Structure 1
């Protein structure tokens, strides 16, 4: 069968000290004035100062917007506040410097500068009609892949649920992935972001939308993350580990943008929305139960995942391969102090409305349409139940 492929990425700079390109790239995008969105920890770590020096070397005027957050995902009201400042300042280029939430805010602020309304008007798929102001996205964690995706995730405070804006109009113009920017990332964030990247690659590998290009990137990403997440977690100053995790995360983000995630992410939204648990942490608690459910229809790809994780599978039956893969995933999760079940996450079954979670997760057809296995509300409810074990 001949398959057509549309493959989308920003211009990508990857490697040590690629942050030096930020000023020149801003100039190329027409920057006289830049609105730089970041977080307090990035400023405290000295990362912001470095980025500013390269922008100022190009005589670019910069206004810095520090995003203070009270939830793991940015709330829509914070996005609107930043967008109002950006509109008033009439900036030429928007730069996001930080973790995934900061980068999502930057992408959405850019879109709101050229499109009417509020963030909530664009929840869903391909609802942003016009490209925003040019964006340069610089991650300081290795995990979300936000620098190379068209997605942005927010907390809808009104309904206490996580919502996604997914539109080609949000795809950044330039991504600068400099491993040096991740050296000060603390261990819990390193772990959470790293598992997020693993799941991006693995879920997209199993997606109905997977293709030869994304499959190749996904397997390499999984191999890299399996090998280097532990060392990066154990020693944040391990430059080799940081370099490899930056590369693995970048690959996973590209795969995510071009093949998409499905079941694990859909099921994480109601949990994260209710308990305000960090995204990667929530995903890790659901991953094993979700992949166990999918395995029956993806035996061949499950075997490839196991091999990418370095598991010997010769002469094993399909179910034995799946069991070995799930054991390897559970070991990786536990080795970086993350939860491998909802119980591990501290959520008690007796105080949880699992059926309502399943109803909410089933509404995420943007994601579930890519699942290799068709899912009813009842199916999702059973997976949640299994995720408590």
Structure 2
């Protein structure tokens, strides 16, 4: 059967010390003044200062906005605050430096600089009519894949639910994925973000929108994360583990952006919105039960998932394959102290 494929992605720079290209890439996008959105932990770790130096080397004026938040996902009112500052400053380029929540804020702030209204006006699919200001996204965790997606997730305080803005207009111009930026991640963030990446790849692989390109990336991502999440969790300074997890997370983000997710994420949004639990923790608690349900119609793909996790399933009956996969997933989750 023939299947037409559209694959969306920003320009990606991946590897050790690629963050040093931040100033050059901003310059290419016409940056004279940059609005850099980050979080307090990134500033505390010294990562913000390093990033700003690469911009200032190119004679780019930088204003850093430290985004405070009181919920796991950024609330829409926090986005409006940042957007108001950005509009007043009339910046040329928006940079997001941090974990997934920070990166989502940066993408939405960019969109609000060229589109009217508020974040709530754009919940749903393809409702942002115009691209925002040019964006460069630099993740400091290995998990959300926000640097290569058109999605941004926010807490709607009015209804106490998590909602998504999903629009091609939010896709960043440039993603800089430097494993060095993740060395300051705590074990808990490493675990939560890492499981999030695993689920992005696995759900996208099982999605009805999957294709040959996303399947190939998804299976390689799952193999990498299965092998390297434990070492990254055990020793945050293990550069090989950080490198591999950054790569696995990047691949997972790419397949998420092009194939989407399914039941696990659909269940996680109302649960996370109600109880304000970290996204990765919510996902891990739901994963095995949801996959057991999905397995009824996805047995062949479940077998390929199991193989990508290193399991030998060729001689097993369909139900045994599913049980082997679920056991492997359960072991991965428990190996990093998640529920």
Question: What TM-score, normalized to structure 1?
Answer: 0.87
Matched residue count: 339
1:311-333 Cα shifts (integer Å, max 9, x gaps): 11131101001000000000100
Displaced runs of 4 or more, over 2 A: none
SS at match of 2:136: strand
Spell out the pairing of 1:134-213 with structure 2 (5 A cutoff): 134-213=134-213
1:207-249 Cα shifts (integer Å, max 9, x gaps): 0000000000000000000000000000000000000000000
User: How far apart are the structure 2 equivalents of 1:131 and 1:271?
Assistant: 31
**Alpha-carbon distance, 1:2 to partner:** 1.0
1:270-290 Cα shifts (integer Å, max 9, x gaps): 110010000010000000001
**Alpha-carbon distance, 1:184 to partner:** 0.3
User: How far apart are the structure 1 equivalents of 2:105 and 2:14?
Assistant: 22
1:90-120 Cα shifts (integer Å, max 9, x gaps): 0000000000000000000000000000000
SS at match of 2:292: helix
1:323-382 Cα shifts (integer Å, max 9, x gaps): 00000000100110101xxxxxxxxxxxxxxxxxxxxxxxxxxxxxxxxxxxxxxxxxxx
What residue number does 1:77 align with? 77
1:103-156 Cα shifts (integer Å, max 9, x gaps): 000000000000000000000000000000000000000000000000000000
**Alpha-carbon distance, 1:189 to partner:** 0.4
User: How far apart are the structure 2 equivalents of 1:72 and 1:131?
Assistant: 27
Unaligned runs of 5+ in 2: none
CA RMSD of aligned residues (A): 0.4
User: How far apart are the structure 1 equivalents of 2:122 and 2:106?
Assistant: 15
SS at match of 2:329: helix
**Alpha-carbon distance, 1:39 to partner:** 0.3
1:138-197 Cα shifts (integer Å, max 9, x gaps): 000000000000000000000000000000000000000000000000000000000000
User: How far apart are the structure 1 equivalents of 2:67 and 2:87?
Assistant: 17
SS at match of 1:4: coil
User: How far apart are the structure 1 equivalents of 2:131 and 2:87?
Assistant: 15
User: How far apart are the structure 2 equivalents of 1:71 and 1:101?
Assistant: 10
User: How far apart are the structure 1 equivalents of 2:50 and 2:177?
Assistant: 14
Unaligned runs of 5+ in 1: 340-389
1:57-106 Cα shifts (integer Å, max 9, x gaps): 00000000001110000000000000000000000000000000000000
Spell out the pairing of 1:1-389 with structure 2 (5 A cutoff): 1-339=1-339
**Alpha-carbon distance, 1:296 to partner:** 1.2
SS at match of 1:204: helix
Question: What TM-score, normalized to structure 2?
Answer: 1.00
